[in-house]
Structure 1
Amino acid sequence: MARRALILVEGASNMLRYVQAAQHLDLQPIILSAEPSQYEYLAAEGIEAINVQTDDVDALIGECSRLRLTYDIAGITSARESACAAAGKLSRYFELPGPNPEAIQRCCNKFTQRQLLAGAGVPVPAYRLATNATDVQKAAAEFGFPVIVKPVVGVGSCGVRLCRNAGELAEHTSHLLSERDIVRSSPMILVEEFAQGPTYWAEIVGDIVVGIGAADFSPPPYFVYHQWTFPDPLTNAEYQRITDASLSCLRALGLGWGPTNIEFRWTRRGLVVIEVGPRLSGAPGPEVIQAACGVDLITEHIKVVIGAEWNLCRSLSQTAAARFLVADRDGTMDCINGVGRAAAITGVVEVKLNIEPKTPIIRKGDYRDCIGYVIAASPNRALTDAILERAAGQISWSIT
C-alpha cells in the first residue's frame, strides 16, 4: 500500500513544525521548492525537498503527478502566503480539500483586500493606491502626516514604514520604487492613514475564532514586533466585537476554509482591520497559542488539509507570550550568551535563536531583524510578563 504523503509548497519560519506534525500523523512530508537548499536542515529528518518552480502551476501539477506514482497524496498546502494560492490550485486539480485559490489571490493583494473589505462595510484605514512618487505625495497630503507607506504585496512588515514628514516619505518612496520585485510586477504602493491604537490579532480556523491576542512593536518608523501575548484580557463586549469583525472579513474575502489570521487596531474612531492573512500566523504565533490553551494549530491545520476530523478544544488556560530578540545594529554576530540560563527559568516554554555566531546582520526594519524569541506561560499576564522580562534579561549578544 502506498505511503500517504503531505505536499508542502514552500515553507515559512515554522517549516520544521509542519514536518514534525505531519510525521506525527503518519504522513510523509515532501517539500516542493524553487530553492531546496534553504531546507537542507531537514535532510537529517529524511525529508525530500524537490526543485520545481513554485510559481508555475503546470510544473507543480507535473511534479505532483509524478509523486502520485509512488505516494498516496493525502493533502497539499503551504505555510508561505505567496504559495497558498498555488497550493489551493493544486488541491482543486487533484480533487483534494483546499481553499478557494482565487480568494487567496485577492486577499494577498493589499489594495484588492482593502477594496473588498471597505465594500462590505468592514472598517479599514483610509487608503490610496499609488504607482509613482507624485501619487504618493498627493495621498500623503490628503491624509496628513504621519502616513503608512507599503508595497501592495508582501508579508512580515517588509517595506512597511511610518513616514512622519516629507523627507521620510520621499526616501521610502524612492526605496520602494527601486525594489526589483515591485518594479517587475509594475510599481504598486499603498498609502494609508496611520491607525493609532492598541494592536490585536485573531487566529481563526474555518469560521471558528480560536482566540485573540495582543501585539506590541518596537519604536517606529518600522513595525518590528516586540511582544505577542495570548489571550488578551478583553471584556466580553470587546471580544465579541473583534470576533464579529473577523467573521465579516471572512465573508467579504471569500475565506473560511482552513486558517486565517487578522490584525486589528483599536483607534479613537473604533476597531479597524489592518491586514488579513489567509494562513496561520508565522512563528511563534502557533507556539504561543499552544502554550496558552493547548491547541496545536499546525497539527489541526494539517488535519483540515487531509480531510480528517480536527479539534480546537482547549486543554490549558494560561497566558502565554513571546518576547522577540531584535538586532540593535548592523554588523557580524560575534556571540550570543545566556540562552541556557533563560531556558532554565520556571515558566519559560521555549528559547529559539534564528541565527548562529558569525552571521552577518543587516537590519531591514521587518521580521528579519528578529534574531530569536523567548516564550513564557503562566496562570496570569503579570506573571508571564515578569518571567519574560527576567528570561530576556539573561540573553545578551555582541555585534561588531
Structure 2
Amino acid sequence: MNEAGRTVFVLRETPAHWLSSVVDAAHTLGLRAAVVTPAVAEHEHADLAGLADDVCVIADIRDAEEVAGRIRAATGGARPAGVLTAAEDIIATAARAAELLGVGRCPADVLRLAHNKFAVRQLLAEAGLPGPRHALVSETSEATAVAESVGLPAVVKPVNGAASTLVRTVRSTDELAQACALLARRLPEAPDARYHRPVADRAGGSLDPRRVFLVEGLLRGPEYMVDVVVSDGVAEPVAIVDKPLIDERAFELAMACPPLTLSGERAEAITDVVVRSVLALDLDNTVAHVEVIDDEVAGPTIVEINAGRPVGGATAELIKLHTGVDMFAEFVAAAAGLPRPAPAGNRIPVPLGELIVYPPGGGRLVAIHGLDAVRELPEVISIVTTVSPGQVLSGEQEVYAVNVFVAGFTDHDELAALYDEVTKLVRIELEPLD
C-alpha cells in the first residue's frame, strides 16, 4: 500500500483534546495521520506538525468539495485510507468528503440528519422506541401550547446542542418562555459556531438553531452512557458507564464503569434500546456515543445519540482501562475500513471511576493547581487534563478540564466522598476575559 493509501485525514476546526487520541490510534493501527485545518497561528501550526505526519491548511473546513480537493492535492489523486473527525459540527462534512474521494463508510446524509435532535426523536418514535413527548418552539408566545403538548416539568435545549450547553429544566409556562428567551439571546453570541449554522431537517430544508429550540418532557431515573461500534449492520455495545453524581446543571461529576448497582436484566434492556436506536438512524461502519435514562415509567429511554464519534472528554480512557477497548482505535478503524482492533490485555477488572472537575465559570485558563496532591491519594490511578493555559473556557457547557481515574470504592457514597476529596485539592485558576 502506498503512503496515500495508508493515510487518514483528520478534520479539525478548533483546538480539541480528541485530536491527539485520533492520531495516536491511527499510528497504533499502522496508519499515517494528516490534519486538515483552517489557517492557524504559527505556534499552533508547529504543534500540529509535531503531532501529525502532515498538516493541510484549507480556507473553509465546512466545504466538503474543498476538503476533498485539498486531500486529492495532498495524495496526488490517490485514494486516502479515510477521512474523519470527532468535531461534532463537521462530522457530516468529513463523511461527504470521504464519499467524494471514494472512501465513504457511513452516509453523510445519515450523519447530517443525526445532528438534528428533533429529527432523531421522530425517527426513534417511528421505530417504536420509547421517548419523551417533544416539540419545537421558536417564540415565547408558544410556551403555553408547547407546555400543554409536552407536559411539565420539561427540558429546553438547542436543537443541535452538545455538552449540556444552555440546557434548562423548566417547571412552569413562565419558566419555559424565559428559557426560550435566554436561548434566543445567548445562542447567536455562542463561541461554538455550530449554533450559527442551519441544521438539516427531514423535509430537505433546515432549522435555524439560534431561534428554534427543542422541548422534551423530563425523564426521571438513573442515567447511563453507552459507546457502540456499528460494523456492516451489526451494532455492538462496548461498555455501560453509570452517571451516579450529576449537578444542578446536568453536568456529570463522577462516573463508574461498570455500573455498581445495575442488574443484568436492566443492563440488557438498556443495551437493547441502544442497539435498536443506532440502527433506526441507519448508522453503519462508524461509532456512536449514546446517553440513556432508565425512566421510572417508560424504561430505558434515549436522551441523545452522538453519531459518528466516540465519547467526549477523557471518558474513553475510563472505558479502555476497564474493557481494553480503545474507542478511538475503533473510530479510526471504522473510518478506514479496517477490522476491529483487538482489545488490550492490560485491562483493570475492578470497578473504576472518573471524577470530573469543571472550571468555576468562564474565563481564560491561567493554571491548574493541586494535581500533585491528588496523585498522592491511594485510590488515584491517573489524571488526564483536557485544557491548557491560555485556553478560553465556558461555564455554560461541560468542559472536562480535570479527569481523575480512581479505583478502590465499593458504592456510590464512597465515589461521592472521593469526588469531594479531589475537588478540595484542585483549583482551576481563570482570568476574566477583556
TM-score normalized by structure 1?
Answer: 0.88
The answer as to 2:282 corresponding to 1:254 is: yes
The alignment partner of 1:201 has SS state of strand
Out of 168, 185, 202, the residue aligned to residue 226 of structure 2 is 202
Asked if the contact 2:224–2:243 (Cα under 8 Å) also holds between the matched residues in 1, the reply is: yes
Shift, 1:389, TM fit = 5.1
Asked if the contact 2:258–2:351 (Cα under 8 Å) also holds between the matched residues in 1, the reply is: yes
Of 176-185 and 106-115, deviating more is 176-185
Asked if the contact 1:9–1:77 (Cα under 8 Å) also holds between the matched residues in 2, the reply is: yes
Of 375-384 and 16-25, deviating more is 375-384
For 1:28-70, what per-residue CA distance to the aligned partner results, in whole angstroms no more than 9, with x for missing partners? 2112233545954434335525233122111112111111218
Shift, 1:184, TM fit = 5.9
C-alpha distance in structure 1 between counterparts of 2:165 and 2:175, whole Å? 16
2:214 is aligned with what amino acid? L
C-alpha distance in structure 2 between counterparts of 1:183 and 1:72, whole Å? 33
1:272 is aligned with what amino acid? T
The alignment partner of 1:247 has SS state of helix
Asked if the contact 1:120–1:252 (Cα under 8 Å) also holds between the matched residues in 2, the reply is: yes
Asked if the contact 1:330–1:399 (Cα under 8 Å) also holds between the matched residues in 2, the reply is: yes
Question: Counterpart in 2 of 1:138?
Answer: 145
Shift, 1:362, TM fit = 4.8
Asked if the contact 1:265–1:274 (Cα under 8 Å) also holds between the matched residues in 2, the reply is: yes
Question: Counterpart in 2 of 1:239?
Answer: 267
Q: How many residues align?
A: 397
Question: Counterpart in 2 of 1:367?
Answer: 398
Asked if the contact 1:36–1:49 (Cα under 8 Å) also holds between the matched residues in 2, the reply is: no
Unaligned ranges ≥5, structure 2:
189-193, 199-207
The alignment partner of 2:254 has SS state of strand
> Residue 36 and residue 154 in structure 1: after superposition, are their counterparts in 2 closer, same or farther (change >3 A)?
farther
Shift, 1:72, TM fit = 6.0
Shift, 1:200, TM fit = 0.8
Asked if the contact 1:318–1:380 (Cα under 8 Å) also holds between the matched residues in 2, the reply is: no
The answer as to 2:60 corresponding to 1:59 is: no
For 1:86-144, what per-residue CA distance to the aligned partner results, in whole angstroms no more than 9, with x for missing partners? 22222222222511222111211001100000011111111011222223442124444
C-alpha distance in structure 2 between counterparts of 1:14 and 1:353, whole Å? 12
Shift, 1:81, TM fit = 1.9
Asked if the contact 2:358–2:398 (Cα under 8 Å) also holds between the matched residues in 1, the reply is: no
Asked if the contact 1:52–1:60 (Cα under 8 Å) also holds between the matched residues in 2, the reply is: no
2:313 is aligned with what amino acid? A
Out of 9, 15, 20, the residue aligned to residue 7 of structure 1 is 9
> Residue 357 and residue 296 in structure 1: after superposition, are their counterparts in 2 closer, same or farther (change >3 A)?
closer
Question: Counterpart in 2 of 1:168?
Answer: 175
The Cα RMSD (Å) is 2.8
Shift, 1:371, TM fit = 2.9
C-alpha distance in structure 1 between counterparts of 2:143 and 2:39, whole Å? 35
For 1:201-221, what per-residue CA distance to the aligned partner results, in whole angstroms no more than 9, with x for missing partners? 11111111111111245432x
Question: Counterpart in 2 of 1:45?
Answer: 51
> Residue 274 and residue 348 in structure 1: after superposition, are their counterparts in 2 closer, same or farther (change >3 A)?
same
For 1:283-336, what per-residue CA distance to the aligned partner results, in whole angstroms no more than 9, with x for missing partners? 212111011122111122212222222135463223222111123345665653
Asked if the contact 1:109–1:152 (Cα under 8 Å) also holds between the matched residues in 2, the reply is: yes
> Residue 184 and residue 204 in structure 1: after superposition, are their counterparts in 2 closer, same or farther (change >3 A)?
closer
C-alpha distance in structure 1 between counterparts of 2:427 and 2:358, whole Å? 11
Question: Counterpart in 2 of 1:290?
Answer: 320
Out of 193, 209, 215, the residue aligned to residue 191 of structure 1 is 215
Of 147-156 and 169-178, deviating more is 169-178
C-alpha distance in structure 2 between counterparts of 1:301 and 1:359, whole Å? 27
Question: Counterpart in 2 of 1:274?
Answer: 303
The alignment partner of 2:319 has SS state of helix
> Residue 96 and residue 360 in structure 1: after superposition, are their counterparts in 2 closer, same or farther (change >3 A)?
closer
For 1:343-375, what per-residue CA distance to the aligned partner results, in whole angstroms no more than 9, with x for missing partners? 2434423323344567666521x213x432212
2:341 is aligned with what amino acid? N
C-alpha distance in structure 2 between counterparts of 1:360 and 1:258, whole Å? 31
> Residue 172 and residue 33 in structure 1: after superposition, are their counterparts in 2 closer, same or farther (change >3 A)?
farther
Asked if the contact 1:293–1:318 (Cα under 8 Å) also holds between the matched residues in 2, the reply is: no
The answer as to 2:135 corresponding to 1:128 is: yes
The alignment partner of 1:367 has SS state of coil
TM-score normalized by structure 2?
Answer: 0.82
C-alpha distance in structure 1 between counterparts of 2:416 and 2:78, whole Å? 47
Of 235-244 and 18-27, deviating more is 18-27
C-alpha distance in structure 1 between counterparts of 2:378 and 2:30, whole Å? 33
2:333 is aligned with what amino acid? K
2:254 is aligned with what amino acid? Q
Out of 292, 297, 300, the residue aligned to residue 330 of structure 2 is 300
C-alpha distance in structure 2 between counterparts of 1:384 and 1:354, whole Å? 22
> Residue 23 and residue 313 in structure 1: after superposition, are their counterparts in 2 closer, same or farther (change >3 A)?
closer
C-alpha distance in structure 1 between counterparts of 2:393 and 2:280, whole Å? 40
> Residue 304 and residue 341 in structure 1: after superposition, are their counterparts in 2 closer, same or farther (change >3 A)?
same
The answer as to 2:394 corresponding to 1:394 is: no
> Residue 218 and residue 22 in structure 1: after superposition, are their counterparts in 2 closer, same or farther (change >3 A)?
same
> Residue 387 and residue 191 in structure 1: after superposition, are their counterparts in 2 closer, same or farther (change >3 A)?
closer
Shift, 1:195, TM fit = 0.6
Asked if the contact 2:155–2:218 (Cα under 8 Å) also holds between the matched residues in 1, the reply is: yes
Asked if the contact 1:182–1:188 (Cα under 8 Å) also holds between the matched residues in 2, the reply is: no
Of 127-136 and 344-353, deviating more is 344-353
Asked if the contact 1:32–1:51 (Cα under 8 Å) also holds between the matched residues in 2, the reply is: yes
Asked if the contact 2:380–2:406 (Cα under 8 Å) also holds between the matched residues in 1, the reply is: yes
> Residue 285 and residue 397 in structure 1: after superposition, are their counterparts in 2 closer, same or farther (change >3 A)?
closer
Asked if the contact 2:245–2:255 (Cα under 8 Å) also holds between the matched residues in 1, the reply is: no
Question: Counterpart in 1 of 2:204?
Answer: none
Out of 97, 119, 122, the residue aligned to residue 115 of structure 1 is 122
2:29 is aligned with what amino acid? L
For 1:212-271, what per-residue CA distance to the aligned partner results, in whole angstroms no more than 9, with x for missing partners? 111245432x22221222121421111111111111102211013221111111122122
